[in-house]
Chains A and B, each alone.
Chain A
Amino acid sequence: MAKGRVSVVVERCKACGFCVEFCPTHVLALSSAFNSKGYHPPHVVHPEKCSGCDLCGMYCPDFAIYGTKVPSEKSPEKAGGEK
């Protein structure tokens, strides 16, 4: 069970590749899909390796991706960012 989950805001992505490169567990790769601007957004290729560290989110210059921690079975609150 992955500790984290990645969310992608497809339409904001400009395929810079930062998230793919700097994910410490290599969860991501650029997909072959296109967004409406013609960019290939990332997709998750190894979801089980995601720790929810949100380094992808910190690197993304377009605010187009972020990682969140998946709540453990004991605490059913939703995972989410601050505020």
Chain B
Amino acid sequence: MLNVLDETVNPVEPFLRSDRMPHIWCPGCGIGTTVNSFARALIESKIDLESLALVSGIGCTGRVAGYVKLDSFHTTHGRAIPFATGLKLANPKLNVVVYSGDGDLSAIGGNHLIHAARRNIDLKVICVNNLIYAMTGGQTAPTTPGHATTSTNPYGTFEPAFNLPHLVDAAGAVYVARWTTFHVRQLARSISEAFAKKGFSFIEVISPCPTLYQRRNKMGDGLDTMKYYKEKSKVKNGAPTGEVGLTLNGEIAVGKFVDRDRPDYQTMMRAQYVEALGDRYVDVPDPEESDMECVCG
């Protein structure tokens, strides 16, 4: 199948829809790199792949759903999180990952991001942040640092950018981390840690978009950006999220910022119902045991 002359297998290959390779991401784009870390985390955490569902939105990162060999849902722009919420509530046994981009999750999807964090829905959100709307040609995103050049701010952006860890921390997320695509092992470890937690986990991964963000801002190609991440990143585990905002050329604070425990949505829901209804409360049915199975011809 592939032109590998030996019998070894790429560790990430079992997680890919090999029949859809090569993917559409540009040379030097970091999204594929994040998928490697994701695959390693799945291996490390021994996650049962049959009860894992991956939901994405629209955009370059949104295409991850189509490339992973999992139950995967490529939904509408900004709405991966509410779709994922529905999946998780209907089948609490699922491990639900939301894998989407900064524009999708924090602009059009911003409302859903903060409410899911507030509710502490048990979702693992991987937000690949390339600081731009890449798929549509390089428009300003809520995360684009000030004074960057984009196609909708051809004279330079002037809006303050979101500090995503701060936003989701304030909204109530129980696990908040940021890495870059340079930090492949740390990212895999964070994803594993998120899998071990119940509640709303948010992992931001700063990633190159060499074709648009880096090119328009004369920051070189993907490799230049990876070296830049290596140089500018500073690990600041436990840093107050208010202090980890990004700027055009400044330090990139990375690390695990928030790791706390509070009951997730379903735990709280159940507790409330049991308190109010006692024996009358009936648990959410297990979809595998329901008679949804049909006798279709």
- Taking Cβ atoms with an 8 Å cutoff, the residues of A that contact B are 5, 7-12, 14-18, 21-22, 39, 54-55, 57-63, 66, 68, 78-83
Query: Nearest-CB distance from A65 to chain B (Å)?
Result: 8
- Across the interface, name the chain A residue whose C-beta is closest to B33: A61
Q: Is the CB of B11 within 8 A of A62?
A: no
Task: Answer yes or no: B31 CB below 8 A from chain A CBs.
Answer: yes
Which parts of B11-45 form the interface with A (CB within 8 Å)?
11-14, 16, 21-23, 25-33, 35-37, 40, 43
Contacts known (A17-B223, A18-B223, A39-B27); A59 close to B7, Cβ less than 8 A: no
- A57 and B10 form a contact (CB under 8 A): yes
State whether the Cβ of B276 lies closer than 8 Å to any Cβ in chain A.
Answer: no
In the complex, the answer to whether A57 meets B11 with C-beta atoms within 8 Å is yes
Q: Is B3 an interface residue (CB 8 A)?
A: yes
Q: Which among A11, A63, A82 is the interface contact of B43 at CB below 8 angstroms?
A: A82
Q: Do A61 and B8 touch across chains, with their CB atoms under 8 A apart?
A: no
**Are A81 and B8 touching (Cβ within 8 A)?**
yes
Q: Which residue of A lies closest to B22 (CB)?
A: A12
B184 x A7 contact (CB < 8 A):
no
At the interface, yes or no: B277 with Cβ under 8 Å from chain A? no
Partner of B223, one of A21, A68, A80: A21
Are B11 and A81 neighbours in the complex by a CB distance under 8 Å? yes
* Closest-CB distance, A18 to chain B (whole angstroms): 6
Q: How far is it, in angstroms, between the C-alpha of A81 and the C-alpha of B36 when the chains are bound?
A: 13
Question: With the chains together, A18 CA to B12 CA distance in Å?
Answer: 17
- B residues at A contact (CB < 8 Å): 2-14, 16, 21-23, 25-33, 35-37, 40, 43, 181-182, 184-185, 188, 221-223, 226-227
Contacts of B14 in A (CB 8 A): 81-83
If A14-B28, A83-B14 touch, whether A63 touches B8 (CB-CB below 8 Å) is no
Determine if B223 and A63 form an interchain contact, defined as CB atoms under 8 angstroms apart. Answer: no
* Additional A-B contacts beyond A7-B10, A62-B22 (20; CB < 8 A): A5-B6, A5-B8, A11-B3, A11-B22, A14-B28, A16-B27, A16-B221, A17-B223, A57-B10, A57-B12, A58-B36, A58-B37, A58-B40, A58-B188, A59-B36, A60-B36, A61-B29, A63-B32, A81-B9, A81-B13
Q: Please tell me which one of the listed residues A11, A16, A66, A81 contacts residue B222 in the complex, with CB atoms under 8 A apart.
A: A16
Q: Please tell me if the beta carbons of A66 and B8 are within 8 angstroms of each other in the complex.
A: yes
Contact of A18 among B11, B13, B222 (CB under 8 A): B222
14 contacts between A and B (CB under 8 A): A9-B2, A11-B22, A12-B21, A21-B223, A22-B182, A58-B36, A58-B37, A60-B36, A63-B32, A66-B8, A78-B8, A81-B12, A82-B43, A83-B14
A13 to B32: give the CA distance in the assembly, Å.
Answer: 12
Please judge, given known A-B contacts A58-B184, A78-B7, whether A66 and B12 are in contact too, CB under 8 Å.
Answer: yes
Q: Bound complex: CA of A11 vs CA of B28, how far in Å?
A: 16
Closest B residue to A68 by beta carbon equals B8
**Is A58 in contact with B185, judged by CB distance below 8 angstroms?**
yes
Residues in A whose Cβ lies below 8 Å from that of B6: 5, 7
A78's nearest neighbour on chain B, judged by CB, is B7
